[in-house]
């Protein structure tokens, strides 16, 4: 029998006569914050946990508890299937035949009931997954509408099944079908509503980053619930000095770039990449009822690029290879963004790709420690150069030369100054000549690199980390001599790189 998915939807559980067939764990449910999810297209509403995670897995939309907890191992998957000429008896028989392919399969119970006057069947089974000894318990509920089936499955390891049954109990009490809409055929979501939801989500991501850039905490408190804020405390303490957590996040977000994956899904993945330390912060969001973050993880760029597989090179990607350092920076940003996009849109969940599922000691020990070192090193470097805290005469002269360049830009005299930088390309000269003097008012030095022959100063606008101005100076016995100026616009660089990769 061929089963065709028409419309995956949010968490649904069976109410009505089934509510008396099992004992819910109310204590767990009472500790979870819920919101009422309404699906106008399919005509139902239900309360679901606000901070649960979701993913598309084949033909099902799968929900689970927060990543890193035992409840993350419990899942709920949902499908809507058009009945056609298929009878309910044949459909149930097919479900059982699929289970029989597992080891130690056992049908524990099969019961009939109703859901808002609709007939429904509840199946409870046990089995062992292939290549593992773990015993799994699964509950499948099939709601028999005239034109389609609702197929709802709750799956968990046998020892966790009852313990985390709380959300099931809540849903039993809250699930409701709108009779008029439920009798209609399935149809696509309203495009206007989808566009409004997408616009709201993108604006929220931008605001989250901007708020945290300002003070390091307002974005977190605005877009995370209290449970997630509490679960983030160990991560904060592992990454930043306790007294500098807010300042640390402000530094991170003010210099990070944003990449959004699965933007059209209900639960997009947003990555913030900090190239100066080569560190990723990965966040999962939910769009409804309002955009909010449901989980976070921080990893080294090296961890992401190598999918959590050793050995790791702890030097930032752009500082490893020989060559023109500005070019290496542009290349590293483009390659990291491309890799993030591939992982998020891969066939398996990004957490599994990166080997950070469950309580991975490598993530919480080695990765967090290395991430902290990378961030703190780049942050101290930024503090020193922005405050002029250097005892090296050449670095002092380098900073003074860079600030003189910025002052020339503010006066609109940048073209005259570029006449002495023989290494600057014609394209860059033209681009810098068209910039408004106010652009240079925003520039601040945040990093430098140097060797025996030359040194480069890196400047970023305080309000837009998509740009980077690099000033390369030749070292001499006298003052630094301006050799080359580059203006990097990372979104354009990433687009060019993506087009080259796709060829």
The sign one gets for the Cα dihedral 456, 336, 298, 292 is: positive
7: pLDDT strictly greater than 60: no
Last residue of a domain, one of 383, 399, 416: 383
Helices (H) and strands (E) in the chain, counts: 19, 18
- DSSP character at residue 493: H
Q: What is the pLDDT of residues 286-331, one digit of tens each?
A: 887 788 898 899 999 999 999 988 888 899 989 988 888 999 999 9
462: pLDDT strictly greater than 80: no
Are 394 and 455 contacting, i.e. CB atoms less than 8 angstroms apart? yes
User: Would you call 461 exposed, middle or buried from its count of C-beta atoms within 10 A (0-12, 13-18, 19+)?
Assistant: middle
Residues 244 and 343 in one domain: yes
Neighbours of 421 (CB within 10 A): 18
167: pLDDT strictly greater than 90: no
Residues 59 and 101 in one domain: yes
The verdict on residue 457 lying in a domain is: yes
- 3-state SS of 329-370? HHHHHHHHHHHHHHHHCCCCCHHHHCCCCCCCHHHHHHHHHH
Nearest CA-CA partner of 201 in 182, 223, 179: 223
240: pLDDT strictly greater than 70: yes
Show the domain range for 324.
215-383
Are 327 and 456 contacting, i.e. CB atoms less than 8 angstroms apart? no
Within 8 A by CB and 6+ apart from 420, the residues are 481, 482
Last residue of a domain, one of 138, 157, 182: 182
Residues 481 and 399 in one domain: yes
The verdict on residue 265 lying in a domain is: yes
501: pLDDT strictly greater than 80: no
Q: Tell me, what's the pLDDT at 55?
A: 66
135/160 Cα distance (integer angstroms): 10
Q: Tell me, what's the pLDDT at 225?
A: 82
Nearest CA-CA partner of 46 in 54, 37, 55: 37
The verdict on residue 436 lying in a domain is: yes
3-state secondary structure (DSSP) of residue 82: strand
181/162 Cα distance (integer angstroms): 34
For residue 24, give the CATH number of its domain: 3.40.1000.10
Q: Tell me, what's the pLDDT at 257?
A: 93
Residues 41 and 170 in one domain: yes
The verdict on residue 149 lying in a domain is: yes
Residues 172, 176, 177: CA angle, nearest 5 degrees: 135
Residues 21 and 153 in one domain: yes
Structure tokens at 448: 């430098």
- 3-state SS of 86-124? CCHHHHHHHHHHHHCCCEEEEEEEEEEEEECCEEEEEEE
Tell me the percentage of the chain whose pLDDT exceeds 90: 29
Long-range contacts of 466-473 (CB under 8 A, 24+ apart): 466/257, 466/490, 466/491, 468/329, 469/443, 470/325, 470/326, 470/329, 471/401, 471/402, 471/405, 472/326, 472/423, 473/398, 473/401
48/497 Cα distance (integer angstroms): 41
Q: Tell me, what's the pLDDT at 29?
A: 43
The verdict on residue 228 lying in a domain is: yes
Are 312 and 278 contacting, i.e. CB atoms less than 8 angstroms apart? no
Residues 78 and 170 in one domain: yes
Nearest 10 degrees: Cα torsion 428, 433, 437, 440: 20
Residues 398 and 367 in one domain: no
402 or 18, higher pLDDT:
402
Q: Tell me, what's the pLDDT at 226?
A: 82
212/345 Cα distance (integer angstroms): 27
Structure tokens at 30: 């009472």
365 or 235, higher pLDDT:
235
Residues 430 and 485 in one domain: yes
62/64 Cα distance (integer angstroms): 7
Mean pLDDT of 161-165: 85
How remote is the C-alpha of 498 from its chain's centroid? Answer: 20
Last residue of a domain, one of 366, 383, 400: 383
Residues 258 and 405 in one domain: no
The verdict on residue 200 lying in a domain is: no
Lowest mean pLDDT among 164-178, 296-310, 434-448: 164-178
461 or 271, higher pLDDT:
271
For residue 423, give the CATH number of its domain: 3.10.450
Q: What is the pLDDT of residues 74-93, one digit of tens each?
A: 887 767 676 666 677 877 88
How remote is the C-alpha of 201 from its chain's centroid? Answer: 13
Residues 245 and 344 in one domain: yes
> Of 22-26, 115-119, 124-128, which one has max mean pLDDT?
124-128
367: pLDDT strictly greater than 70: yes
Residues 130 and 254 in one domain: no
177: pLDDT strictly greater than 90: no
In Å, the largest CA–CA distance within the chain is 89
How remote is the C-alpha of 393 from its chain's centroid? Answer: 43
Q: In the chain, how many domains are there?
A: 3
176: pLDDT strictly greater than 60: yes
The verdict on residue 135 lying in a domain is: yes
Q: What is the pLDDT of residues 141-155, one digit of tens each?
A: 888 877 777 777 788
3-state secondary structure (DSSP) of residue 292: strand
Residues 370 and 469 in one domain: no
256: pLDDT strictly greater than 90: yes
The verdict on residue 199 lying in a domain is: no
């Amino acid at each position: 029998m061929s089963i065709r998915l028409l419309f995956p939807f949010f968490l649904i559980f069976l109410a009505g006569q089934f509510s008396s067939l099992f004992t819910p764990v109310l204590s767990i449910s009472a500790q979870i914050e819920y919101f009422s999810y309404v699906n106008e297209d399919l005509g139902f509403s239900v309360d679901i946990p606000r901070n649960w995670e979701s993913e598309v897995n084949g033909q099902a939309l799968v929900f689970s508890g927060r990543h890193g907890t035992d409840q993350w191992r419990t899942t709920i998957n949902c499908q809507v299937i058009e009945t056609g000429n298929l009878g309910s008896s044949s459909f149930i028989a097919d479900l059982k035949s699929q289970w029989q392919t597992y080891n130690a399969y056992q049908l524990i119970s099969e019961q009939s009931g109703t859901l808002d006057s609709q007939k429904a069947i509840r199946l409870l089974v046990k089995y062992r997954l292939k290549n593992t000894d773990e015993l799994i318990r699964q509950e499948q509920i099939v709601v028999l509408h005239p034109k389609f089936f609702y197929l709802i499955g709750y799956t968990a390891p046998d020892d966790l099944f009852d313990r985390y049954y709380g959300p099931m109990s809540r849903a039993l009490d809250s699930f409701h079908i709108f009779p008029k809409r439920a009798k209609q055929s399935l149809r696509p979501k309203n495009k206007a509503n989808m566009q409004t939801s997408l616009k709201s989500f993108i604006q929220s991501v931008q605001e989250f980053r901007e708020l945290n850039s300002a003070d390091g905490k307002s974005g977190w408190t605005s877009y995370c619930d209290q449970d997630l804020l509490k679960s983030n405390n160990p991560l904060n303490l592992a990454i930043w000095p306790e007294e500098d957590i807010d300042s640390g996040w402000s530094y991170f977000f003010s210099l990070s770039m944003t990449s959004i994956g699965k933007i059209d899904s209900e639960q997009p993945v947003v990555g913030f990449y900090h190239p100066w330390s080569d560190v990723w912060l990965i966040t999962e969001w939910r769009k409804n009822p309002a955009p909010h973050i449901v989980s976070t993880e921080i990893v080294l760029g090296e961890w992401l690029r190598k999918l959590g597989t050793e050995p790791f090179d702890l030097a930032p990607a752009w500082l490893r290879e020989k060559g023109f350092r500005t070019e290496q920076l542009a290349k590293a940003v483009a390659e990291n963004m491309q890799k993030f996009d591939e992982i998020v849109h891969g066939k398996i969940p990004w957490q599994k790709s990166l080997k950070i599922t469950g309580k991975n000691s490598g993530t919480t020990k080695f990765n967090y420690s290395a991430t902290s070192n990378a961030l703190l090193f780049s942050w101290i470097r930024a503090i020193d150069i922005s405050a002029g805290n250097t005892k090296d005469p050449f670095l002092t002269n380098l900073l003074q030369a860079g600030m003189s360049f910025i002052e020339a830009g503010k006066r609109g005299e940048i073209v005259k100054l570029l006449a002495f930088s023989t290494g600057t390309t014609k394209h860059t000269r033209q681009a810098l000549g068209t910039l408004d003097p106010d652009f240079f008012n925003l520039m601040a030095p945040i990093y430098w690199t140097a060797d025996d022959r030359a040194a480069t100063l890196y400047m970023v606008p305080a309000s837009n980390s998509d740009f980077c101005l690099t000033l390369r100076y030749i070292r001499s016995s006298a003052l630094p001599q301006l050799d080359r100026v580059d203006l990097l616009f990372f979104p354009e660089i990433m687009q060019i790189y993506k087009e080259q990769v796709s060829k």
